[in-house]
Amino acid sequence: MTPPELSTSPPVTASTDPAPRVIAADAPFIVVMNAGSGRRQSDETRAALDDILGRAGRKFEVRLVADPSQLADTARQAVRDAKAQNAVVVGAGGDGTLCAVAEAVLGSGCAFAVLPRGTFNYFSRDHGIPADPAESIRLLLDARAFPVQVGFLNERMFLVNASLGLYPKLLEDREIYKRQFGRSRLIALWSAAVTLLRTHRHLRLHIEHDGTMHEVRTSTLFVSNNRLQLEQIGMAEAPQLERGLLAAIAPRAIGRLAQLGLTLRGAAGRMSDADNVISFAFKRITVTHQSKRQRPVKVATDGEINWIIMPLEFRVAPEPLFLLKPEADVANANRS
């Protein structure tokens, strides 16, 4: 629901979007690949690249990142080399890996492409990019680069979502369960249920939106830049993302069982029907804690956990990321 005290920002018209870019037929590809997805998956991806791009006569190179702390530096070097070679920078991995590579690409003038290798792959699915390795690689050969919206939490970019409060804890616990039991959506859902049944504290936040300050008491503030994710949980703000806005969701302070029930309602695609959920679309908001103390808070951006000192500013990036993706009709068919 959208409470009366939190209004939706005016939409941005589609006519302001830059035109899509045609990629040169001989443009090479520099692939930044996260080795954390597993040796077998990395080998399969490399073999598919050799087969499909090799037969098409397209040059490419793979830069495998074994140490996650080196991902950002590797991505920045890939962008520098891509600018010199008129190449396309390709991220291969889950949403966190794709975000790290995309952050290096944004504003560089280079086109960006993805080979989805994660558990949920919300970013690629939202833009109609196939999960099948061979299909996503073939897409590189003839797709145009379309402008897509990205968000920022202070200086950290996000492609899918950013959050503070309970949601980062859910992600941390999910990673522990994945290391123990493997990567699957079922494990992720089970981990979430266990976490929600534990005791959790509520946040007392001040949210400045459109020049007005509002007090919100919630377990988590979740900001989405992904229409597919919002549609899956049944949020009415999903279409607003295509109008240049982000969507915020904050459940009102409720108990553990009620929190679990709200999560189940979201899994059934009916969260917008809940009376205890605040939701609104916006272009920029500033979030502070009621205590006014400048203290670090745990945040998550596309699954990556960090500590940031308040105030927190969530905003739409002023420039788009140019993503190789299918034409609109094909993308809509591939979003499920």
First to last CA, the chain: 25
Domain with 218, as residue range(s), is 155-316
What confidence tens digit (pLDDT) does each residue in 34-71 have?
Answer: 987 656 788 889 999 999 999 999 999 999 999 999 99
Q: How far apart are CA 230 and CA 235, in angstroms?
A: 5
Q: Does residue 9 sit within a domain?
A: no
Which has more pLDDT, 263 or 15?
Answer: 263
pLDDT value at residue 316: 98
- Do 301 and 166 share a domain, yes or no? yes
- Do 234 and 283 share a domain, yes or no? yes
Phi, psi (rounded to 5 degrees) for 64: -85, 130
Instruction: Using the structure block, give the residue that is written with the tokens 């409720």.
Output: 254
What confidence tens digit (pLDDT) does each residue in 224-263 have?
Answer: 999 999 998 888 999 999 999 999 998 876 655 455 555 5
Q: How far apart are CA 1 and CA 321, in angstroms?
A: 30
Q: Is the pLDDT of residue 209 over 70?
A: yes
pLDDT band at 3 (very low <50, low <70, confident <90, very high): very low
Mean pLDDT of the chain: 84
- Do 162 and 308 share a domain, yes or no? yes
Q: Does residue 6 sit within a domain?
A: no
Reading the block at residue 296, the tokens are 């670090």
- Do 257 and 281 share a domain, yes or no? yes
- Encode 48-86: b = buried (16+ Cβ within 10 Å), e = exposed: bbeebbeeeebebebbebeeeeebeebbbebbebbeeee
Which has more pLDDT, 335 or 73?
Answer: 73
- Do 201 and 144 share a domain, yes or no? no
Lowest model confidence (mean pLDDT) among 46-55, 66-75, 157-166, 177-186: 177-186
What confidence tens digit (pLDDT) does each residue in 299-332 have?
Answer: 999 989 999 999 999 999 999 999 999 987 555 6
pLDDT value at residue 261: 53
Report, as an integer, the average pLDDT of 278-291.
Answer: 91
Q: Does residue 2 sit within a domain?
A: no
E-strand ranges in 252-293 read 277-282, 284-289
- Do 186 and 238 share a domain, yes or no? yes
The three state secondary structure string of 244-257 is CCEEEEEEECCCHH
Taking alpha carbons only, the member of 124, 83, 80, 79 closest to residue 105 is 79
- Do 166 and 301 share a domain, yes or no? yes
CATH number, domain of 83, equals 3.40.50.10330
Q: How far is CA 196 from the centre of its chain?
A: 22
Contact 133, 49 (CB under 8 A): no
pTM score, whole prediction: 0.84
Which has more pLDDT, 150 or 165?
Answer: 150
- Do 111 and 166 share a domain, yes or no? no
- Do 120 and 188 share a domain, yes or no? no
Please count the structural domains in the chain.
2
pLDDT value at residue 290: 72
Lowest model confidence (mean pLDDT) among 166-175, 178-187, 301-310: 178-187
- Do 124 and 244 share a domain, yes or no? no
Taking alpha carbons only, the member of 252, 167, 248 closest to residue 215 is 252
Reading the block at residue 169, the tokens are 């804890």
- Do 164 and 109 share a domain, yes or no? no
